[in-house]
Structure 1
Amino acid sequence: MRGAKSAKWVVGAIVVAMAATACGGGSNDSGKGGGAVFRLGITEPTAIDPVNAQESEGTLVARQLFTGLYGVNDDGTLKPLLATSSKANDKGDEWEFQVKPGTKFSNGEPVNAEAFIRGWTRGGAKASASDVGYHLDNIVGYEDLHAGKSDKLTGATAEGENTIKVKLSKPDFEFDKKTVHPVYSPVPKVAGAGDNKAFNDAPIGNGPFKMAGSWEHNKKISLVRNDDYALQKPAVEKVEFTILNPSNAATLEYKGFEKGEFDWARMPTPQLPVAKAKYDPQGEWIKFDSPGINYILTFQEDGPMKSADARKAISYAIDREAIAKGVFQGLQEPATAILPPTFKEVYKADQCTSCMKQDKAKAKEYAEKAGLKPGDTIGFGFNTGAGHEEWVQAVAKQVEDVLGVKIKLEPLPFKEALAKQQAKGTTGLWRQAWSADYPTADNFLTPLLSTSGINPDAAGKAQGDNRGRYSNPKFDELLVKARNTKDAAERTKVYQEAEKLAIDEDQAAIPTWKRTQYRLANSKKFSGLKLDFFEDPNIAEIGIK
């Protein structure tokens, strides 16, 4: 595709590719799989222990193994799991949670208030070097714990067996929503420190499933039903995660589904229309408007994307509509905001002016202001094997055609891609997507764009999710103001103001597509299959036909 003369030509090439590469001949034999076994492919996770579970693959496994205080309903509201109640004081800086009594980990240890505090402390500890520990950073004592000056998260205390008291450094009237993240999971005493490899590879949890042996790296992860699960026990008896080659994982998932080897599958972008035509009539096609967003990450510490003008030049150069109609065959829709439409209360369209329509004149104007010259080289990284190649190539070609720059594509496996994004000195652009960890605007704006979301270590590695290293004190102040605002409607206005500042004025990130997800599901064998709030299959809730 790199030789394409226009996005329109790319569309033609992709249609041909679909006809040439679509798999055929197989079927999902409902008799395969050895009973109630749910089989799916993933790529190698970074971690499955909640102390550092971070990307989609790792958090999918971690949520099968651990159950926390809250989950999320399909409409984005909180769903009580082990929390029987929660309440904040009038200032929003103290919270109390009541934990369901009498539940256990799969090794028999009690799941009580101390178990939750143990897990939170482990997530914030310096030795854990967790990339997701920052989700705990508003709890009093986190800074000393994370710096290695203390071994306690002093703001989290147990009162009796089932009461958790939390003191926050700053008010946050949405703190209960943040406990949805896996890093807030309870852990048993046997978990030990966050770098306990035995536990990292075979976590002992309290979720609907438990490990069947240890994680076989780059091969598989096997789970079995936890028959002592405290909530509704799953109908599925076993879950088999096959770890696929990241360079072509989506293709392998699709082929595996066609052959009856997988019960769930993602697909490469070119195969989407073909798969829809085949499987939608069979009831095996799932469409889900996700609480997430696709965007282009811009590295702002150094390099060509350091100025807002350069970032606006790139954004104005992209014809999102043409790519949505061509590469995605109408199955994706352009994004003009960083917050997703599924967050109905806070979503506001057209927050990103440069995203609304390709404007070649403005793109060139901003490029000139930024000192971007024809012939300059800009790196554009993306993770392989997930169907991103075609649209990334189309974006690269548009930017090259409009600005005269050279876009150097830098494909990497997902795990390596995440590591490179974190490294100090990374420059240019990167394909990125974010799906909500918990149902609040803060979960997008704080991790992705706040100064605290950088969380660099001594070597300058970004330990948080603000990999582009955007930092604006005014934006940070707006986030604090939003958390301090008790009234939900007023809080929404503050979040929208913060989004406008970061995404429009500063062009801190470049929104591309709303996050509509498509999956294939074995409805011949299973009932009730769907994508949940986290874009994962609802394995613990499905029925067996």
Structure 2
Amino acid sequence: MRGANSAKWVAGAIVIALAATACGGSDDDSSSSGKGAGKAGGTFRLGITEPVAIDPYNSQESEGILVTDNLFTGLYEPTADGKVIPALATSKEVSADGKTWTFKIKPGTKFSNGEAVDAESFIRGWNRVAQKTAASDVAYHLAGIAGFDDVQAGKATTMSGLSAPDANTLQVKLSAPDFEFYVKTTHTVFSPVPKVAGDAKNKTYNEAPIGNGPFKMQGSWQHNKSITLVRNDSYGLTKAKLDEVKIEILNSNNGVTLEYQGFEAGTFDWARMPTPQLPAAKAKYDAQGEWIDENTNGMNYLLPITDNGPLKDKKAREAISYAIDRDAIIKGVFQGMQTKSTTILPPAFTSVYQKDLCQSCIKSDPAKAKQLAKEAGLTPGTTIELGYNTGAGHEEWIQAVKQQVEKVLGVKVKATGKPFAELLADQQKPGATGMYRFAWGADYPTPDNFLYPLLDTASINKDASGKVTGDNRGRYSNPAFDALLAKARATEAEAGRNDLYKQAEKLAMDDMALIPLWNRTQLRLANTKKFADIKMDFHEDPNLAEISLK
């Protein structure tokens, strides 16, 4: 998941619950319960920048996921600490070959319009995403389902791998083994939808999705102004306690500043902060119990375009990495509130973490940077584009990177800030070049969710014009890497999968497919004076469905 201000994160160490049930077995897990120890009622207020989408067919970054995740409930959900627990799934079975999954669905739950949530509503939602005309940036999450390629190509309208033996049974046949498939269903793209959803380009539904989650829309999305959610009293699981969530959509040029100002003024109950304000904010709010400081599973990178332009040669990408003094930026810009990254996968994935995998990330080496640049033909005076999103606190470190790279390599770095949606569009456009500010965190807790979306050839999804609609926006492609991931998915034992993930990560790191910068520490302000049970959820957002009044 791309983060507008940050990558998706998890409070504390991630616990990856990935055991698949053998054929004929079932879950004995129980759904989360007892949400919110405080009183019901109240309005929770926060600010975000304009989302890309709130309809699950294309909801993708932290802003949109905040809304979509509270409007819809799928088969499974991730807990804040990275466990995968049942939501609407009452059991799962997987065939011995890892290619057929059967889910039993909790009977009797409904969409907020009264329509039943059943197996067909899941099939409807997933087929809606897969249509080529949907042009979904997150459709690739369904790519393993049999028939996905035919739907994407316009040869079919439904995926052959989906069926409903009865109203509350969903069977999914995959085109290749995947013993982690059920984990992937925690993503909002796997949400069920009612019949009224229609085509993915149904503007009425796009702006006011009717879901089956703990909240429902009040009115429609007022673009660049606001979104209002109210409690869904017909929700089929544990009901939310908040009456209302008011989301103000802020100017993308200074969104984080406006969030912070809103919290200080008492108009927001949750906020991010501009980087220069972090020390003052910590000093003021930590003592009041309103400061949240968590190491997370998010990662920050520079995203190099690997198939075009000055960074096509991996030595050029290495030169950029060696030219950056990460320690100086962390000390000077972040006031020591971040930690240096030397991997593609985050330290929170303890079972696969390979510290110092990126040799050029450990310490800046100007001499080596210059030599590699020379070997790659990256000559002094060359212009390198550096794109980033505005209003999210990135300006200071972007300028630091620009100055360091220019000083060491003698190149010209053209740093261009744009609203987040425009930045994403630039990354996708035909002929993209240079590098971009990039952050990622797991949509679901498995290393596959870093390695496959960001680096697998299948995640490029380039159309005839050259536009990329997947999340492999660096256009990295290595058949050996792809084969390792496919083998990992087909490996039932977690230890065996993890070994393959490590091999794949090392291969991509040797190719400098991404340029790691720093691991993720997320910092937030929360109104704990008025509200109880506030914490960060798996998606970097406040856990709205669990918050209560004190």
Q: Which residue of 1 aligns with 2:251?
A: 245
Q: Which residue of 1 aligns with 2:511?
A: 506
Q: Which residue of 2 aligns with 1:460?
A: 466
Of residues 212, 217, 240 in structure 1, which corresponds to 2:218?
Answer: 212
1:515 counterpart letter in structure 2: R
1:532 aligns with 2:532: no
Q: Secondary structure at the match of 2:151?
A: helix
Q: Is the 8 A contact 1:102 1:110 kept in 2?
A: yes
Q: Is the 8 A contact 1:251 1:268 kept in 2?
A: yes
Q: Secondary structure at the match of 2:336?
A: coil
Distance 1:319 1:335 in 2: 12
1:541 aligns with 2:546: yes
Distance 1:157 1:289 in 2: 41
Q: Which residue of 2 aligns with 1:187?
A: 193
Distance 1:128 1:405 in 2: 40
Q: Is the 8 A contact 1:266 1:518 kept in 2?
A: yes
1:437 aligns with 2:437: no
Q: Which residue of 2 aligns with 1:108?
A: 114
Distance 2:380 2:462 in 1: 34
Q: Is the 8 A contact 2:80 2:536 kept in 1?
A: no
Distance 2:263 2:417 in 1: 25
Q: Which residue of 2 aligns with 1:223?
A: 229
2:541 counterpart letter in structure 1: D
Q: Secondary structure at the match of 1:103?
A: coil
Residue 400 of structure 1 and its aligned partner are, at CA, apart by 1.0
Residue 436 of structure 1 and its aligned partner are, at CA, apart by 1.0
Q: Secondary structure at the match of 2:146?
A: coil
Distance 1:293 1:430 in 2: 14
Q: Secondary structure at the match of 2:435?
A: strand
1:375 counterpart letter in structure 2: G
Q: Which residue of 2 aligns with 1:31?
A: none
Cα deviation 1:489-511 (Å, max 9, x = unaligned) = 111011011001101x1000001
Cα deviation 1:129-149 (Å, max 9, x = unaligned) = 111111101100101111111
Q: Is the 8 A contact 1:302 1:427 kept in 2?
A: yes
1:164 aligns with 2:170: yes
Q: Which residue of 2 aligns with 1:390?
A: 396
Q: Which residue of 2 aligns with 1:23?
A: none
Task: In structure 2, list runs of 5 or more residues that go unmatched.
Answer: 1-39
1:315 aligns with 2:321: yes
Q: Secondary structure at the match of 1:159?
A: strand
Of residues 121, 126, 129 in structure 1, which corresponds to 2:135?
Answer: 129
Q: Secondary structure at the match of 1:49?
A: coil
Q: Is the 8 A contact 1:50 1:182 kept in 2?
A: yes
Residue 74 of structure 1 and its aligned partner are, at CA, apart by 2.6
1:79 aligns with 2:78: no
Q: Which residue of 2 aligns with 1:332?
A: 338
Q: Is the 8 A contact 1:76 1:343 kept in 2?
A: no
Of residues 512, 520, 536 in structure 1, which corresponds to 2:525?
Answer: 520
1:372 counterpart letter in structure 2: L
Q: Secondary structure at the match of 2:224?
A: coil
Cα deviation 1:30-65 (Å, max 9, x = unaligned) = xxxx96111110111110000010111111100010
Residue 325 of structure 1 and its aligned partner are, at CA, apart by 1.2
Q: Is the 8 A contact 2:45 2:247 kept in 1?
A: yes
Residue 122 of structure 1 and its aligned partner are, at CA, apart by 0.5
5 Å matches for 1:3-42? Answer: 36-42=42-48
Q: Secondary structure at the match of 1:98?
A: strand
1:518 counterpart letter in structure 2: L
RMSD: 1.0
Distance 1:240 1:177 in 2: 31
Cα deviation 1:54-94 (Å, max 9, x = unaligned) = 11111110001000011112331201111111121111111
Q: Secondary structure at the match of 1:520?
A: strand
Q: Secondary structure at the match of 2:304?
A: strand
Distance 1:271 1:517 in 2: 14
Distance 1:178 1:351 in 2: 27
Distance 2:352 2:97 in 1: 22
Cα deviation 1:347-383 (Å, max 9, x = unaligned) = 2211211111111121111101111111111111100
Q: Secondary structure at the match of 1:443?
A: helix
1:482 aligns with 2:472: no
Distance 2:51 2:465 in 1: 24
Q: Which residue of 2 aligns with 1:413?
A: 419
2:266 counterpart letter in structure 1: G
Q: Which residue of 1 aligns with 2:262?
A: 256
1:300 counterpart letter in structure 2: T
Identity, % of aligned positions: 62
Distance 1:539 1:517 in 2: 18
Of residues 100, 103, 115 in structure 2, which corresponds to 1:97?
Answer: 103
Residue 102 of structure 1 and its aligned partner are, at CA, apart by 0.6
Q: Is the 8 A contact 1:38 1:240 kept in 2?
A: yes
Q: Is the 8 A contact 1:156 1:164 kept in 2?
A: yes
Residue 532 of structure 1 and its aligned partner are, at CA, apart by 1.1
Q: Is the 8 A contact 2:41 2:241 kept in 1?
A: no
1:267 aligns with 2:267: no
1:376 aligns with 2:382: yes
Q: Secondary structure at the match of 1:122?
A: helix
Distance 2:210 2:319 in 1: 49
Q: Which residue of 2 aligns with 1:234?
A: 240
Distance 2:391 2:101 in 1: 43
Q: Is the 8 A contact 1:435 1:535 kept in 2?
A: no
Distance 2:355 2:113 in 1: 49
Q: Secondary structure at the match of 1:110?
A: coil
Residue 430 of structure 1 and its aligned partner are, at CA, apart by 0.5
Between Structure 1 and Structure 2, how many residues are aligned? 511
Q: Which residue of 1 aligns with 2:308?
A: 302
Q: Which residue of 2 aligns with 1:343?
A: 349
1:51 aligns with 2:57: yes
Q: Is the 8 A contact 1:127 1:193 kept in 2?
A: no
Q: Secondary structure at the match of 1:104?
A: coil
Cα deviation 1:212-269 (Å, max 9, x = unaligned) = 0011111000111000111111111101110000000000000000000100001111
Residue 460 of structure 1 and its aligned partner are, at CA, apart by 1.5
Cα deviation 1:183-240 (Å, max 9, x = unaligned) = 1000000000000000000000000000000111110001110001111111111011
1:270 counterpart letter in structure 2: P
Distance 1:423 1:518 in 2: 32
Distance 2:359 2:175 in 1: 35
Q: Which has the higher contact order (CA 8 A, sep 6+)?
A: 2
Q: Which residue of 1 aligns with 2:15?
A: none
Distance 1:91 1:293 in 2: 33
Q: Which residue of 2 aligns with 1:197?
A: 203
Q: Which residue of 1 aligns with 2:22?
A: none
Residue 458 of structure 1 and its aligned partner are, at CA, apart by 2.4
TM-score, with length taken from structure 1: 0.93
